[in-house]
Chains A and B, each alone.
Chain A
Amino acid sequence: AQKITQTQPGMFVQEKEAVTLDCTYDTSDPSYGLFWYKQPSSGEMIFLIYQGSYDQQNATEGRYSLNFQKARKSANLVISASQLGDSAMYFCALLSGGYNKLIFGAGTRLAVHP
């Protein structure tokens, strides 16, 4: 069965420092994908970054990068140079089978301190 696990309910980081948010997954599909979304207190879900299971390199998007370790089934999000506006919930999601169905983890609440 497909499953996403985010073991950190909450994290905090000092402004301008880097932070890693953990995500592990379980799937029997040889082809899959992993997404990270940000949810501010206003509620909308903002797409951050995507990693495909066959991608040779770790995905990067600006200050966001994905530390993809396929053998360990982990896809950790790294945010560099944290900003106060990064304070939000962060969700990892697994692309399940076909047709773009997503399975979401429980999320990690990140607080950035000045």
Chain B
Amino acid sequence: DGGITQSPKYLFRKEGQNVTLSCEQNLNHDAMYWYRQDPGQGLRLIYYSQIVNDFQKGDIAEGYSVSREKKESFPLTVTSAQKNPTAFYLCASSIASKSSGQPQHFGDGTRLSIL
């Protein structure tokens, strides 16, 4: 079945440590996105990518980095510069389109906590 796979489901970070969240999709979508969700809140965009080897900052990119070396993969690194990383992270993908309402399809998320 086609879909988006995020791993791990749960992740713990120590002080000063970088951690990388994995996101893989087999939907042949060009566009991929990373969101952060804090308890009781909506999703906020961290980074997005419309095409391989290109990505743009979202609304809350500070303390995060991404790469897009393959169409299927869009890993997110939470760096030690992100002082409050505890949150639920969701990866999404969609057909890249400027105008039509192509829905974003989401993975099951990764829950990151500080040790």
Q: Could you tell me which A residues sit within 8 Å of B by CB distance? A: 4, 31, 33, 35, 37, 42-47, 50-52, 91, 93, 95, 98-102, 104-107
Contacts and interface: CB of A to CB of B under 8 A. Distances in A.
Interface stretch (B16-24, B68-76, B77-85, B91-99): B91-99
A55 B43 CA distance: 26
Contacts of B107: 44
Contacts, number: 68
B61 interface: no
B90 A50 contact: no
B42 A106 contact: yes
A87 B9 CA distance: 23
B45 A43 contact: no
Given A91-B42, A99-B96, A44 B101 contact: no
A107 B42 contact: yes
A99 B41 contact: no
B99 A31 contact: yes
Contacts of B109: 43-44
Given A43-B90, A99-B31, 14 more contacts: A33-B101, A43-B111, A44-B107, A44-B109, A46-B106, A50-B101, A99-B48, A100-B31, A100-B97, A101-B45, A102-B43, A102-B104, A106-B41, A107-B40
Given A102-B45, A107-B42, A35 B103 contact: yes
| Secondary structure call for the A interface | strand
9 contacts: A4-B42, A33-B100, A33-B101, A43-B90, A99-B31, A101-B45, A102-B45, A104-B43, A106-B41
A46 B101 CA distance: 15
A40 to B, nearest CB: 11
B94 A45 contact: no
B105 A47 contact: yes
B50 interface: yes
B42 A50 contact: no
A51 B108 CA distance: 25
